[in-house]
Structure formats: C-alpha cells, structure tokens
Amino acid sequence: MDSIEINKIAAAVLCAGLALGGSVLAATVLVPDRRPARPAFPIAGLEPDAAPAGPSIDARLARASAAHGAQLAGALCAACHGFDKGGAARVGPNLFGVANRAVAAVADYQYSPALKQAGGRWTPSRLDRWLTRPQGFAPGTRMGFAGISDGAARADVVAYLLSLSDTASAAPTAGVGFASLVASADPGAGAATANAECSACHSFDRNGSAMIGPALYGAFGRGIGQGADYAYSAALSGHGGNWTVAALDDWLRNPRRFAPGTRMGFAGIADDKARAAVVAYLRSLSDHP
Ligand code: HEC
Ligand code: HEC
C-alpha cells in the first residue's frame, strides 16, 4: 500500500467518520470482508480462533515493517485506540504494551463479556487472528472493525504493536521470537553495528567487492555461500539453504556452530536485539526489499 493510498484511506476515515458519526460503519466500509456469505468450501479463518490461511505469522513478521504498520494503525485504528504510553482509553482500550499482555487486561476499561471470556495473552499469532476478523476470534466483541484481510498488512500492524513496549529492547520476550525482534528492529542501528564490527572484512555497498569476506549487498535471501566472485570455505559453500532471518540469526549468534570449519573469524553477536538489528539491516540491502 503506497502513501497516496494511505492518505486516501485516512481521508475516507475522516469523511466517513464525519458523515456517519460511526466508526463502526467506517471500518466496515474501509475494510470490507470480501468472503462470500456461503463459501463453496470451508475456510479456516471463519472458525472462531482458527489460524488464517497462508504463510504463518512468524514468516510474515520476518518480512514485516513496523513503520508501515504504524501508518496503517494511524489510518485504521487511531479513531478508537491510543498507542501512547499511559494514554487514555478511547472507544477501545489504549494499546501501548498490548503484545503479550493478558487479553482484556486494562484495569479501567469496560470490555465486553465476549473479549473477557477469550482468556490467554495477546501473542503475535492471536493478534494476527484477532485482526483477521475480530468477530471470528471473539464472537460478540464490541470492536466494530471488520478486519484486515491482507496477511502482509496485518503482520505490519502486529509488528508495530510488538514495538509498543518498554521492554521491546529486552531479550526475547517469551513467545515473541527472533522474527518479531527483527520486524521491530531499527536497520539504522544495525548499520552502525555492522560498520563497527563487520566492515573490516565486509563491504555493504551496492556493487561492493569482496574483502576478507564476501560482499554482503544482496546476500539476504541468497543461497548460503553462493555469492559470485568469492572463494568460500567448503563449510559454507556446502551448507545448503538460503540466508533467511532464521539462518542469519543462527549464523551471527555463533558462526562456528552454524558452519563448523567456516573461515569467518568472528565470535558472534550474543545480544538478541543487536543481532536482530543487523539482520534487519542486511535485509534492507537489496534492490527489491
Ligand atoms: C470502531 C472502533 C475500533 C477500531 C476502528 C479498532 N478497534 Fe480495536 N477495539 C475496539 C473496542 C471497542 C475494543 C474492546 C472490545 C471488547 O471489549 O469486546 C477493542 C479491542 C482491541 C484489542 C484488545 C485489547 C485488550 O486490551 O485486550 C486490540 C489488540 C485491538 N482492539 C487492536 C486494534 C487494531 C490494531 C485496530 C486497527 C487495525 C483496531 N483495534 C481498530 C474498537 C476499535
Ligand atoms: C574477521 C573478518 C570478518 C568479520 C569481522 C566478519 N566476517 Fe562475515 N565473513 C567473513 C568470511 C571470511 C566469510 C566467508 C566464510 C567462509 O567462507 O567460511 C564471511 C561470511 C559472511 C556471510 C555469508 C555470506 C554469503 O555470501 O554466504 C555473512 C552473511 C556474513 N559474513 C556476515 C557478517 C556480519 C553481519 C558481520 C558483522 C556482525 C561479519 N560477517 C563479520 C569474515 C568476517
């Protein structure tokens, strides 16, 4: 979704809000549920609390943009929700810190019985299901919002919610995982780390050449140990697989454990958040990010 489209949506929210005085209708108009009333075959997402079809939330979070999620949240949710720390409830509860918080836990907010009965915590996968179709997740909920049908856009919003936390920086929040750390990481911080810790051996420039190690522009997603113009160790060239978020996580945590015999003379980055930022930076080094 480009920014013109977001402006259009924002304008539509404003107009619909003014004209109808009801964000319930606005949300329904804005995010129509395109599913047929009677599907020809069973659709998993229609069962209460079922996982939406398509790639898992972890896979989508690995490529998600919290910044884009913030834009979407501003356009789609801000009429009803505040996102600032200590902010007041609006039509819906304040959402700062909602990720991994117990469902329906804001003390001074009157939740519907439907949401109170849902129980559990707002894990990324439950947020994903909730935002797919709130009425499917908690039938009878008062959240007047049809849902976000696009899985990638939904993951962007979840990544944004994950970033709204005092402890987003603290080591892996239980159940959140490295993919979501990467989704909410700052590639700029990763660039600073890479400059300090990797640039003695690696170039990160577009068209950069190999130094002690291979050039890393475009390495994300590429086959492991398969860059052109570099003589890799057999440990790396014979490893197999691609440089996914998960593979880079293991590699940069401990290169010699990932590929015993590798020639990369680097101990690894123990801090999860710092490693996630470097992975987010590597992912940004592409002509097709
Ligand atoms: C029309 C108003 C409205 C819109 C738009 C809306 N919400 Fe809500 N939201 C609510 C209400 C009301 C509740 C409480 C529901 C209940 O008690 O059943 C709620 C609850 C929630 C909760 C559960 C919070 C908790 O403390 O358990 C989350 C998470 C949430 N909304 C996220 C979002 C996101 C993200 C968006 C935008 C993509 C959004 N909402 C759009 C009104 C809205
Ligand atoms: C002391 C030099 C050195 C440092 C410091 C270093 N690397 Fe490397 N790196 C290498 C070498 C050498 C290889 C090739 C290893 C092999 O063939 O076994 C390599 C390989 C890689 C690869 C695999 C690329 C491909 O095409 O498959 C990645 C990704 C990588 N390094 C990332 C990093 C990052 C990120 C940092 C900093 C956090 C870093 N390296 C720090 C020397 C270094």
Are 13 and 79 contacting, i.e. CB atoms less than 8 angstroms apart? yes
Instruction: Determine which residue's CA is closest to atom 36 belonging to ligand 1.
Output: 77
Per the listing, tokens 């239980």 go with: 174
| Alpha-carbon span 117 to 115, nearest angstrom | 5
Predicted local confidence at residue 167, as pLDDT: 61
Is residue 109 within 8 A of residue 83, CB to CB? The reply is no
> Which protein residue has the closest C-alpha to ligand 2 atom 33?
198
Spacing, Cα 163 to ligand 2 middle (Å): 29
CB proximity list for 173: less than 8 A, separation 6 or greater: 99, 100, 165, 167
Rounded CA separation 289/280 (Å): 11
| Atom nearest to 200 CA in ligand 2 | 5
Whether residue 209 has pLDDT greater than 50: yes
**Closest to 109 in 3D by CA, of 129, 81, 131, 139:** 81
Contact 80, 23 (CB under 8 A): yes
Question: Span 129-153, mean pLDDT?
Answer: 95
**CB distance 255 to 243 below 8 Å:** no
> How many Cβ atoms sit within 10 Å of the Cβ of residue 71?
19
Q: Is 78 in the pocket of ligand 1 (CB under 6 A)?
A: no
Question: Ligand 1 centroid to 229 CA: how many Å?
Answer: 52
Task: Indicate whether residue 142 lines ligand 1 (CB < 6 A).
Answer: yes
Q: Is the CB of 112 under 6 A from ligand 1?
A: yes
Q: What is the spatial distance between Cα 7 and Cα 75, in angstroms, rounded to a whole number?
A: 8
Of 25, 57, 77, 122, best ligand 1 pocket probe by most atoms within 8 Å of the beta carbon: 77
- For a ligand 1 pocket test, name from 6, 91, 116, 143 the mutation site with the most ligand atoms within 8 angstroms of its C-beta: 143
Query: What's the chain's average pLDDT?
Result: 82
- Choose between 274 and 25: higher pLDDT: 274
- Identify the burial level of 222 via C-beta atoms within 10 angstroms of its C-beta, where 0-12 means exposed, 13-18 middle and 19 or more buried: middle
Q: Give 211 Cα–ligand 2 centroid separation in angstroms.
A: 10
Per-residue model confidence (pLDDT) at position 6: 55
153 — pLDDT class (breaks 50, 70, 90): very high
Ligand 1, atom 25, residue with closest C-alpha? 104
- Would the pLDDT of 176 be above 80? no
Does the beta carbon of 123 lie inside 6 Å of ligand 1?
A: no
Q: Does residue 271 carry a pLDDT above 80?
A: yes
Of the candidate ranges 19-28, 67-76, 233-242, the one whose mean pLDDT is the lowest:
19-28
Least Cα distance to 76 among 165, 149, 183 occurs for: 149
CA quadruple 126, 130, 131, 133: dihedral sign: positive
Tokens describing residue 169: 């920086």
- Which numbered ligand comes closest to the C-alpha of 247? 2
Q: Which residue has the higher pLDDT, 203 or 51?
A: 203
44 pLDDT more than 70: no
Nearest by Cα to 24 from 144, 138, 135: 144
Residue at 183: amino acid letter: A
* Sign of the Cα pseudo-torsion (137, 139, 144, 150, in order): positive
